[in-house]
Amino acid sequence: HANHTNMRMEQSHAHRTEEMDVERLLVRRGQPFSLALQCFTTLPPKHKLWILLDKWWFRQQGAQSEVLLTIHSPADAPVGLYSVTVLLLSPDGHILEKTTPDTFYLLFNPWCKADSVYLPDEELLEEYILNENGLLYQGSWDQISSLPWNFGQFEQDVVDICFEILDNSPAALTNPEMDTANRADPVYVSRTITAMVNANDDRGVVSGRWDGKYDDGVPPTRWTGSVPILRRWSEAGAQRVRYGQCWVFSGVACTVLRCLGIPTRPVTNYSSAHDTDGNLNVDYLYDEQLESVSEGRKDMIWNYHCWVESWMDREDLPKGYDGWQALDPTPQERSDGVYCCGPCPVKAVRDGDVGMKYDAAFVFSEVNADLVTWIVYPDGQRSQVSLNQNTVGQNISTKSVYGDYREDITKHYKYPEGSVKEREVYEKAGRRVTQPNGAPGQLELKIKHAQAILGTDFDVIVEVHNVGGEDTPAQLTVTSNAVTYNSLHRGECHRKTASLTVPAQKAHKEVLRLRYDHYGACVSEHNLIRVTALLQVSGQPEVILQEVNIQLSMPQLHVKVVGDAVVSRKLIAHISFTNPLPITLRGGVFTVEGAGLTAAREIQAPDDIGPGQEVKVKLSFKPTRAGLRKLMVDFDADRIRDVKGIATLIVRNK
């Protein structure tokens, strides 16, 4: 009868997937979509059409030689790849004919009220699902910097790779039926993604490394977006990509979750605690000479730490925990035996409900731990010599929905520091509210520094103020170390000890000159110097500790795009960089990428670049998609890394 070899699928604009660069149909669950069926003769009366899809229903409208089928998917159907076949049945139920199967992807649908990721705010969805560019915040709490990142969730093959990641999870490999059923649940899917973005236990995507040795891979600071990482993983047959650090893990997780249809945003916490022993304190240990003696897996405070938040209902928890959930793909501590973290309701962290799954106690300590300093004596005894209750967890940041500026979301994670409510939450979280010992001392310690530029010499001034009424003798130790953003030491630059007597109501100033020819050799790829000052009042047990992280500022890279920005028409980008260092740079390489503009490409700098010298390269590319687009550029050489530049352009259709 009807030879329907020609089955054409049409998808409606309503699914907001038209940006996605894929061969096959993409639809969002809980929302009808249409299939057009071409028939070469009209359908005989009393014959039935039947669609092979479970729990789904459809409506048909006939026209001369075309039948329009409108298919309705349940809002709690598992996401993934579906196959659809249309059958023609005779009045007595025999299969007369069937079409060749066609496949489509079903995604989460935050536009649909019945979906557990429903977010009723168009402006938020515009950012948290549809925006392919964003900012990841870095630096330190008092010097915040932003890194442009290309999420590229609608770039070619990305949606295929997202499902490939789910298919490679241990659960999918050992029990595929159960895994498929669980994919209806964003809690399950997001937790699987945080475990799979790091390669610690499984066939995960990115391998983390923090020790500065990246020669057998790509240095974490060189990436400008997620797509090259995802493609590299997939093309190598689910082989881990080297190397990532926290912002890379969160950038990749954000791409995957947005692509699957779960509203997601990257988040940065400053002075983020990494509490290894679960006591909700970060313990710094020093000997009597004030040399650090923290060994092995020590508690640390990271300058910043990035994770993501995803929006979803928590039907698995008591009422009140829906909304933003923290998910941390960076491998830090195991959760249920695996390196993953979350989803943890942000509200549970704020209210001190540390038993709430998943991993609320760990996230709670990241934003709330107390910093306790101890002196360890030769016999192994230790005494607590200082307590800092408001260092950890500051300026928690994400990119604003309204543009390229920072939104502070600290209040979602904690009540105001020192408020009654905050102390209550502490008690509830099972904290012993530690008391600083002794009366407040007479001496106060401050560290000041001018804006420090990589490649220059600069001064750090340590001030000891005596607010009391009598002259006070003390011992001051100041050290400066090249550190990574997550507090690994790469080398001591300087150490100075002084015995001093500070006159009543006066201040003593100690100046430390940090020279490039000294720190340049050991500075990490994050260009950070940490200055620690420890002051011990003679004859008193207590020690006053102050620490600053000095972010050496980096030069900018200039990116200028010339030409008319039109889809498929050639554009030229001129990229230039001036060497700010007093030494020659070798092995310079530019990395360029941009969603809808160009796949990632590398351009070698033509020569060595002398001190103060400028290097220029140009690149031609053809935009593939219209809209607001960003071209990201990174420059790396032997003695300078992570120099970034960006050009924004509006691409028109032909």
Query: Residue 216 domain-assigned?
Result: yes
Model pLDDT for residues 241-295, shown as the tens digit of each residue: 999 999 999 999 999 999 999 999 999 999 999 876 667 788 888 887 778 887 6
| Whether residue 539 is found in the same domain as residue 514 | yes
Position 100 scores a pLDDT of: 82
Model pLDDT for residues 310-337, shown as the tens digit of each residue: 999 999 999 999 999 999 999 877 777 7
| Whether residue 424 is found in the same domain as residue 529 | no
CATH number at residue 639: 2.60.40.10
pLDDT band at 10 (very low <50, low <70, confident <90, very high): low
Query: Residue 374 domain-assigned?
Result: yes
Position 431 scores a pLDDT of: 65
Catalytic residue among 4, 39, 185, 246: 246
Distances in Å between the Cα of 460 and the Cα atoms of 88, 142, 449, 463, 627 are 81, 16, 5, 10, 47
Query: Residue 462 domain-assigned?
Result: yes
Model pLDDT for residues 384-440, shown as the tens digit of each residue: 888 888 889 999 999 999 999 999 999 999 998 888 898 889 888 876 655 554 445
| Whether residue 591 is found in the same domain as residue 642 | yes
DSSP, residue by residue, 523-544: --TT-EEEEEEEEEETT-S-EE
Model pLDDT for residues 474-498, shown as the tens digit of each residue: 999 999 999 999 988 888 888 899 9
> Phi and psi (nearest 5°) for 15?
-80, -5
> Phi and psi (nearest 5°) for 220?
-55, -35
Annotated binding residues for Ca(2+), as ranges?
A: 368, 370, 417, 422
Mean pLDDT estimate for the chain: 89
| Whether residue 527 is found in the same domain as residue 624 | no
| Whether residue 236 is found in the same domain as residue 356 | yes
Position 13 scores a pLDDT of: 57
Question: Between residues 106 and 335, which one has the greater pLDDT?
Answer: 106
Position 37 scores a pLDDT of: 79
Instruction: Indicate if 211 belongs to the active site.
Output: no
Query: Residue 117 domain-assigned?
Result: no
Number of domains in the chain: 4
Distance CA 119, CA 110 (A): 5
pLDDT band at 7 (very low <50, low <70, confident <90, very high): very low
DSSP, residue by residue, 308-347: EEEEE--TTS-TT--EEEEE--S--S-BTTBS----EEHH
| Whether residue 578 is found in the same domain as residue 536 | no
Query: Residue 201 domain-assigned?
Result: yes
pLDDT band at 307 (very low <50, low <70, confident <90, very high): very high
Catalytic residue among 305, 412, 508, 526: 305
Q: The tokens of 18 are what?
A: 């038209």
| Whether residue 592 is found in the same domain as residue 546 | no
Instruction: Indicate if 412 belongs to the active site.
Output: no
| Section 447-460 average pLDDT | 92
Position 296 scores a pLDDT of: 59
Catalytic residue among 328, 351, 359, 642: 328
User: CA 75, 77, 81, 83 torsion: positive or negative?
Assistant: negative
Query: Residue 436 domain-assigned?
Result: no
| Whether residue 185 is found in the same domain as residue 329 | yes
Query: Residue 347 domain-assigned?
Result: yes
99 pLDDT exceeds 70? yes
| Whether residue 526 is found in the same domain as residue 571 | no
DSSP, residue by residue, 584-613: -B-S-EEEEEETTTEEEEEEE-SS-B-TT-
Domain end residue (candidates: 534, 551, 568): 551
Angle at 357 between CA 407 and CA 392, to 5 degrees: 45
**AA identity, residue 222:** R
Distances in Å between the Cα of 342 and the Cα atoms of 106, 220, 245, 360, 504 are 24, 24, 18, 8, 52
Instruction: List the domain range (segments joined by +) for residue 593.
Output: 558-651
Domain end residue (candidates: 551, 586, 618): 551
| Whether residue 239 is found in the same domain as residue 270 | yes
Angle at 624 between CA 623 and CA 627, to 5 degrees: 80
Instruction: Indicate if 305 belongs to the active site.
Output: yes
What does DSSP assign to residue 239?
P
Domain end residue (candidates: 54, 72, 107): 107
Distance CA 498, CA 538 (A): 12
| Whether residue 147 is found in the same domain as residue 43 | no
Question: Between residues 182 and 293, which one has the greater pLDDT?
Answer: 182
Question: Between residues 341 and 242, which one has the greater pLDDT?
Answer: 242
8 pLDDT exceeds 70? no
Distance CA 276, CA 362 (A): 9
pLDDT band at 41 (very low <50, low <70, confident <90, very high): low
| Section 215-222 average pLDDT | 94
| Whether residue 564 is found in the same domain as residue 639 | yes
| Section 464-470 average pLDDT | 91
SS3 readout for 152-167: CCCCCCHHHHHHHHHH
CATH number at residue 228: 3.90.260.10
Distance CA 232, CA 505 (A): 63
By CB atoms closer than 10 A (0-12, 13-18, 19+), residue 536 is buried
Query: Residue 229 domain-assigned?
Result: yes
